[in-house]
């Protein structure tokens, strides 16, 4: 009898262990090196005509409703943050200076909801508006807007548009689904155009030589790990971050934040010509993902995928502010005015460190 009880206990322990292993979040990373031949072909591929014709990547959409559990896991370490940089300085045109002065309130920003610990009911409150020319100008010289841009790539023989942001060194932060299909297929013809506006590329087109994401996204379409990085080649002896600056980065912080989310929505009623921002506070979590993803209100459309969620946003200022703390990832079909981002934990910071080491 004692032997039988021992065997049952052992089987239970082994079963629990196996269940834990099966349900443990996969935090391993995977990367894809782009050949020199592919890079040369990509540089020639993105003509102005192809860029204008590229389709907005459809926002990944889950059916059903967000999960209400399990309770979110504790952060995998203490909160951390690294400051951003505005990169090279540029002289503004007089037209830009006029636009700045003409903007009512001289950089005044619409009031945004105050974060609440228990979030908001659907649809969550939010403000969405174009980033005016007075903020980032025809030269695209103002920070942090010049560090945000469009991502162009090809998946399944279709040319698509996503959004992204300079994340330090040669790295561009975006969504995992912009670098990988989530079914073991990498994007091709991948480029980044910082400060894109109305078919103007003030800082040129930066061609990818490496792509990074989580294995859990690349192989299994795990939305908790829908984060990617594009590593781009230098231009004129300068890294991307030296040319346009880069956003700060924060991880292991509370989800209860006020976010300035940026993207280039292109599906109607938008046309993808201009950078758009949404101001919104923490609204909810999706307990069906591990770790739970974070939800906020929004009214952007396809093309905004991969755009950064900025914590402690400040315009025309770099340093201890404007930290990337999320990316546009997915929505639910029944609640399209709410978008989710993977939670930026220690593992996402590990992905960042691997990306900027290139």
Q: Which two tokens stand for residue 241?
A: 């971050």
Alpha helices in 24-132 (DSSP H): 36-45, 48-53, 94-102
- Is residue 312 one of the residues assigned to a domain? yes
Please, what is the Cα angle at 315 between 207 and 129, to 5 degrees?
85
How far apart CA 18 and CA 7 sit, in angstroms, is 16
CB 131 within 8 A of CB 107: no
- Name the CA radius of gyration of the chain, rounded: 21
What per-residue confidence (pLDDT) applies to 271?
93
CATH code of 239's domain: 2.40.10.10
Task: Name the residue range of residue 284's domain.
Answer: 30-67+80-101+117-356
What per-residue confidence (pLDDT) applies to 12?
36
- Is residue 20 one of the residues assigned to a domain? no
Q: Which two tokens stand for residue 88?
A: 């090279």
**pLDDT averaged over consecutive 10-residue blocks of the chain (358 residues)?**
38 34 70 98 96 97 83 81 84 35 35 70 91 58 91 98 98 98 98 92 95 98 98 96 97 95 96 94 93 95 98 90 97 96 98 98
- Is residue 2 one of the residues assigned to a domain? no
- Is residue 15 one of the residues assigned to a domain? no
- Is residue 25 one of the residues assigned to a domain? no
CB 68 within 8 A of CB 224: no
- Is residue 47 one of the residues assigned to a domain? yes
The tally of domains found in the chain comes to: 1
pTM of the full structure? 0.88
Q: How far is CA 72 from CA 26, 67, 283, 293, 352, in A?
A: 16, 11, 15, 9, 22
Binning the chain into helix, strand and coil, the percentages to the nearest 5 are 25, 30, 45
- Is residue 162 one of the residues assigned to a domain? yes
- Is residue 44 one of the residues assigned to a domain? yes
């Amino acid at each position: 009898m004692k032997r039988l009880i021992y065997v049952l206990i052992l089987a239970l322990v082994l079963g629990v262990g196996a269940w834990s292993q099966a349900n443990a979040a996969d935090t391993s990373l995977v990367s894809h090196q782009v050949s020199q031949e592919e890079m040369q072909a990509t540089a020639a591929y993105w003509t102005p005509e192809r860029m204008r014709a590229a389709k907005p990547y459809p926002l990944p959409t889950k059916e059903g409703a967000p999960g209400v559990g399990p309770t979110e896991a504790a952060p995998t370490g203490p909160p951390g943050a690294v400051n951003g940089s505005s990169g090279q300085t540029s002289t503004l045109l007089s037209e830009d200076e006029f636009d700045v002065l003409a903007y009512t309130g001289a950089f005044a920003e619409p009031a945004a909801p105050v974060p609440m610990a228990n979030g908001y009911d659907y649809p969550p409150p939010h403000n969405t508006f174009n980033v005016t020319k007075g903020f980032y100008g025809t030269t695209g010289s103002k920070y942090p807007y010049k560090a945000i841009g469009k991502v162009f790539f090809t998946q399944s023989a279709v040319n698509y548009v996503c959004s992204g942001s300079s994340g330090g060194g040669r790295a561009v932060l975006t969504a995992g689904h912009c670098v990988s299909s989530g079914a073991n297929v990498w994007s091709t013809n991948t480029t980044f155009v910082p400060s894109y506006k109305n078919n103007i590329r003030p800082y040129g087109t930066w061609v990818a030589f490496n792509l990074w994401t989580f294995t859990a996204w690349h192989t299994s379409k795990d939305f908790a790990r829908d984060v990617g990085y594009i590593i781009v080649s230098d231009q004129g002896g300068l890294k991307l971050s030296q040319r346009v600056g880069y956003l700060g980065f924060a991880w292991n912080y509370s989800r209860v934040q006020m976010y300035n989310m940026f993207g280039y929505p292109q599906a109607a009623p938008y046309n993808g010509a201009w950078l758009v921002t949404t101001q919104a506070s923490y609204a909810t979590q999706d307990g069906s993902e591990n770790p739970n993803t974070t939800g906020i209100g929004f009214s952007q459309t396809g093309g905004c995928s991969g755009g950064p969620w900025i914590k402690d946003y400040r315009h025309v200022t770099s340093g201890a502010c404007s930290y990337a703390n999320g990316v546009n990832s997915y929505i639910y079909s029944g609640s399209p005015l709410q978008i989710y981002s993977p939670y930026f934990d220690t593992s996402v910071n590990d992905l960042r460190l691997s990306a900027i080491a290139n």
